[in-house]
């Protein structure tokens, strides 16, 4: 934001004749009325008589600034300063000219000189803050804004710039407080409402963000930006169709709004329509082909459509534009792994540590990371969990392979998996997460082990079973279940609600049950229930549910062991049952995780697993009908 330039009222101490002084006052009056051409003629006439008249030089420079000729303005005001360097307003307006010329460092120096001459110069403190923002010195800018606000606490423009600077530093709560001050001083400040909404969204307060965006839209209905931001907030609230409607409204205002097309594509993917998402991403790219992120998310839409080669090409285009963009490398790795191209996929999978969207942070140990280069004979290595419980179960198999290299292997296990891993560890030491982690030579995260051991599709460690149930737990759960008079099938119908794509992979229990064969005892392996589950259980008293009695995965493992078959959506119990070697049916959404590969009903990771894939656009019904038909029930 730029402060309005006010011409100086100072005439200086030059020895001017009465007529020159009167002419200066006349020109100044015209200047203050906005009659710039008339004032300019008089200033120029004064300078023809007195070329070193510093007031006329300064005010003529101000007119040049106001007339969008900052280069001339800077030159004229510099001449005035050379004659009389002690007027703060001269340095202030010289700074304004330099600011308009994009010379932030020189402009900041001029504003500092104005402040030294006049410490209470509000405009100089404010504009210095603006220049410090331009120079990337945002903390110092906030200090300048604070000094300006100490002198003028009711200047909404200064509060607004302060809020934006705080937002840049990701100090979102403080930014919201500053935006609130702007709104209190100027209730129709649409940009403050819009930006406050963004800060609230960054704080995870999406419902409040929606209210702020709606107010911004009401104040500026012709601006597509708050509509775009409202769409993003609704997407975070998983109100995807409402989000798409917001983007459509914004694009009706400005069809050339590339970011609106892009975010519309993201929302369309979330409702399971990657073909429409692809169209939106293509529109965004047609408008701005140099936006690498657009190509990256276009690749995700293509991946959802099963067009892996085209998806990888889009990720490569993004990488060409943004070589260090983690999302593109990470997404490319997942596409390669899904096609079974492990040779190229595993190295790129290491980009997960740099991708903020994964939420993963590399462990920091004094000991070096082992990725297969160093021999392990006589050495000790810590294998540590990094992602979900299902991932830990899937890659626990590698502990035995590392042990076979001659190392003493210690594996870290979260509490939920500790007893399960301990029962299956053999020569591997298992320690609980949170224990002292020291006394080892190397470390490796579990999901880096395939890279370290150069796993290919043909060399996946593929034991029939590599986990075991605790016999004591099996006996306990056998007693709880009672005598087995009919075949038993364990059911898991929901994954983790916080998973980004849980709405694709989970199946309502009420939708699953009608397709299951009769003559079977069904047992819930689900620990926690969600909306509607309890009502369905009440309506099906034959379906046993134990809830809180399942304390950890050693309990779940014992229950799986007592089942003839397990049916699970893509969640940790599917991995557990497969790792136990139990006959397992896994229900997969249209765009499943990379580990299930493409277009196959079996899994190279688990010999006992059968995959049931949902066809795009057909919902769960055909898949569940197929599942029911393929279940082999022997009384």
The DSSP annotation for 196-244 comes to: HHHHHHHTT-HHHHHHHHHHHHHH-TT-HHHHHHHHHHHHHTT-HHHHH
Domain 380-459, CATH: 3.40.50
Q: Is 519 helix (H, G, I), strand (E, B) or coil?
A: coil
Class of residue 633 by CB neighbours under 10 A (exposed 0-12, middle 13-18, buried 19+)? middle
Q: Which of 556, 567, 507, 557 is nearest to 536 (CA)?
A: 507
In this structure, what is the dihedral angle of CA atoms 554, 559, 561, 567, given to the nearest 10 degrees? -110
- Cβ proximity of 138 and 132 under 8 Å: yes
Mean predicted confidence (pLDDT) in 217-238 = 96
Q: Which residues contact 190 (CB under 8 A, 6 or more apart)?
A: 215, 216, 219, 220, 223, 226
CA pair distance 236, 247, nearest whole angstrom: 14
The tens digit of pLDDT for each residue in 450-499 reads: 999 999 999 999 878 999 999 999 999 999 999 988 999 999 999 877 77
Whether residue 11 is predicted with pLDDT greater than 50 in this model: the reply is: no
Q: Which residues contact 40 (CB under 8 A, 6 or more apart)?
A: 60, 63
Domain boundaries, the chain: 1-117, 308-358, 380-459, 471-630
CATH class label, 1-117 = mainly alpha
Estimate to the nearest angstrom the gap between the alpha carbon of 620 and the chain centroid. 29
Average pLDDT, the chain: 92
- Cβ proximity of 80 and 97 under 8 Å: no
Mean predicted confidence (pLDDT) in 398-418 = 94
Segment 625-633 long-range contacts (CB within 8 Å, at least 24 positions apart): 625/515, 627/515, 627/567, 627/585, 627/587, 628/515, 628/516, 628/517, 630/585, 631/489, 631/516, 631/517, 631/565, 631/585, 633/487, 633/517, 633/519, 633/520
pLDDT for 635: 55
Residue given tokens 């300063």 in the structure block: 81
380-459 shares its CATH topology with 471-630: yes
User: What is the residue-wise DSSP string for 371-429?
Assistant: SS-S--TT-EEEEE--S-HHHHHHHTTHHHHHHTTT-EEEEEE-HHHHHHHHHT-TT-E
pLDDT for 548: 87
With b for 16 or more beta-carbon neighbours within 10 A and e for fewer, the 423-456 pattern comes to bbbeebbbbeeeeebeebbbbbbbbbbbbbbebe
Handedness of CA 20, 23, 28, 34 (dihedral sign): negative
CA pair distance 360, 581, nearest whole angstrom: 30
27's tokens? 């020109």
Q: Which residues contact 513 (CB under 8 A, 6 or more apart)?
A: 522, 536, 540, 543
* Model confidence band, residue 17 (pLDDT cutoffs 50, 70, 90): very low
The tens digit of pLDDT for each residue in 297-333 reads: 999 999 999 999 999 999 999 999 999 999 999 999 9
Handedness of CA 581, 606, 401, 552 (dihedral sign): negative
- Cβ proximity of 603 and 568 under 8 Å: no
pLDDT for 36: 87
> Would you tell me which CATH number, out of the four given (2.60.420.10, 3.40.50.2000, 3.40.50.450, 3.40.50.10420), belongs to the domain 471-630?
3.40.50.2000
The tens digit of pLDDT for each residue in 116-138 reads: 999 999 999 999 999 999 999 99
The tens digit of pLDDT for each residue in 86-120 reads: 999 999 999 999 999 999 999 999 999 999 999 99
Mean predicted confidence (pLDDT) in 537-548 = 91
Whether residue 30 is predicted with pLDDT greater than 80 in this model: the reply is: yes
Backbone angles phi, psi at 545, to 5 degrees: -135, 130
End-to-end CA distance of the chain: 78
Whether residue 4 is predicted with pLDDT greater than 90 in this model: the reply is: no
pLDDT for 202: 93
Distances (CA, A) of 54 to 60, 61, 71, 202, 398: 10, 10, 18, 51, 81
pLDDT for 3: 30
Q: Which of 352, 355, 363, 357 is nearest to 385 (CA)?
A: 363
The tens digit of pLDDT for each residue in 67-84 reads: 999 999 899 999 999 999
**384, β-bridge pairs:** 445
In this structure, what is the dihedral angle of CA atoms 481, 484, 485, 491, given to the nearest 10 degrees? 70
pLDDT for 532: 84
pLDDT for 18: 54
Whether residue 403 is predicted with pLDDT greater than 50 in this model: the reply is: yes
Instruction: Please give the model's pTM, rounded to 2 decimal places.
Output: 0.86
């Amino acid at each position: 934001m730029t402060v309005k330039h006010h011409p100086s009222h100072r005439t200086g101490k030059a020895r001017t004749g009465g007529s020159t002084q009167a002419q200066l006052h006349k020109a100044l009056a015209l200047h203050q009325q906005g009659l710039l051409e008339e004032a300019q003629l008089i200033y120029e006439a004064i300078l023809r008589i007195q070329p070193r008249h510093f007031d006329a030089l300064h005010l003529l420079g101000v007119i040049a600034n106001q007339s969008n000729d900052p280069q001339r303005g800077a030159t004229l005001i510099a001449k005035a300063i050379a004659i009389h360097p002690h007027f703060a307003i001269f340095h202030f307006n010289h700074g304004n000219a330099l600011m308009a010329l994009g010379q932030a460092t020189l402009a900041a120096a001029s504003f500092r000189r104005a402040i030294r001459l006049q410490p209470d110069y509000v405009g100089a403190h404010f504009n210095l803050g603006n220049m410090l923002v331009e120079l990337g010195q945002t903390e110092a800018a906030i200090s300048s804004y604070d000094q300006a606000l100490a002198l003028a606490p009711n200047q909404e423009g200064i509060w607004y710039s302060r809020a934006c600077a705080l937002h840049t530093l990701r100090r979102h709560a403080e930014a919201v407080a500053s935006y609130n001050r702007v709104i209190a001083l100027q209730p129709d400040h649409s940009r403050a409402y819009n930006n406050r909404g963004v800060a609230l969204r960054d704080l995870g307060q999406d419902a409040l963000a929606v209210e702020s965006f709606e107010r911004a839209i009401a104040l500026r209905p012709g601006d597509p930006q708050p509509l775009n931001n409202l769409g993003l907030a609704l997407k975070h609230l998983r109100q995807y169709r409402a989000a798409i409607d917001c983007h459509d409204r914004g694009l009706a205002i400005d069809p050339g709004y590339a970011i609106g097309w892009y975010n519309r594509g993201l929302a369309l993917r979330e409702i399971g329509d990657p073909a429409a998402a692809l169209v939106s991403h293509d529109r965004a790219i047609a408008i701005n082909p140099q936006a690498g992120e657009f190509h990256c998310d276009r690749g995700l839409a293509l991946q959802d459509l099963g067009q892996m080669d085209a998806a990888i090409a889009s990720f490569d285009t993004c990488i060409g534009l943004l070589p260090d963009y983690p999302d593109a490398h990470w997404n490319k790795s997942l596409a390669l792994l899904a096609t079974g191209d492990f040779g190229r996929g595993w190295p790129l999978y290491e980009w997960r540590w740099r991708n903020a969207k994964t939420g993963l942070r590399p462990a920091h140990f004094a000991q070096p990371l082992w990725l297969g280069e160093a021999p392990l004979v006589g050495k000790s290595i810590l294998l540590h969990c990094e992602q979900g419980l299902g991932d830990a179960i899937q890659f626990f198999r590698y502990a035995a392979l590392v042990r076979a290299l001659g190392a003493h292997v210690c594996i870290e296990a979260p509490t939920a998996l500790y007893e399960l891993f301990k029962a299956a560890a053999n020569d591997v030491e298992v320690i609980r997460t949170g224990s002292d982690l020291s006394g080892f030579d190397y470390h490796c995260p579990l999901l880096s082990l395939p890279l370290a051991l150069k796993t290919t599709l043909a060399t996946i460690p593929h034991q029939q079973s590599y986990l075991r149930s605790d016999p004591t737990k099996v006996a306990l759960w056998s007693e709880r279940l009672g005598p087995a008079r009919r075949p038993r099938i364990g059911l898991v119908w929901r994954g983790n609600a916080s998973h980004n794509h849980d709405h694709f992979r989970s199946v309502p229990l009420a939708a699953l049950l009608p397709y299951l064969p009769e003559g079977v005892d069904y047992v819930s392996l689900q620990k926690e229930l969600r909306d509607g589950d309890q009502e369905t259980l009440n309506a099906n008293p034959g379906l046993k549910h134990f809830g809180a009695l399942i304390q950890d995965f050693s309990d779940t493992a014992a229950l799986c062991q007592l089942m003839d078959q397990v049916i699970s959506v893509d969640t940790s119990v599917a991995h557990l049952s497969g790792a136990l070697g139990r006959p397992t049916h896994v229900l997969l959404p249209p765009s499943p995780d990379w580990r299930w590969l493409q277009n196959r009903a079996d899994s190279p990771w688990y010999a006992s697993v059968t995959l049931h894939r949902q066809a795009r656009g057909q919902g769960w019904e055909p898949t569940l009908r197929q599942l029911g038909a393929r279940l082999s029930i022997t009384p």
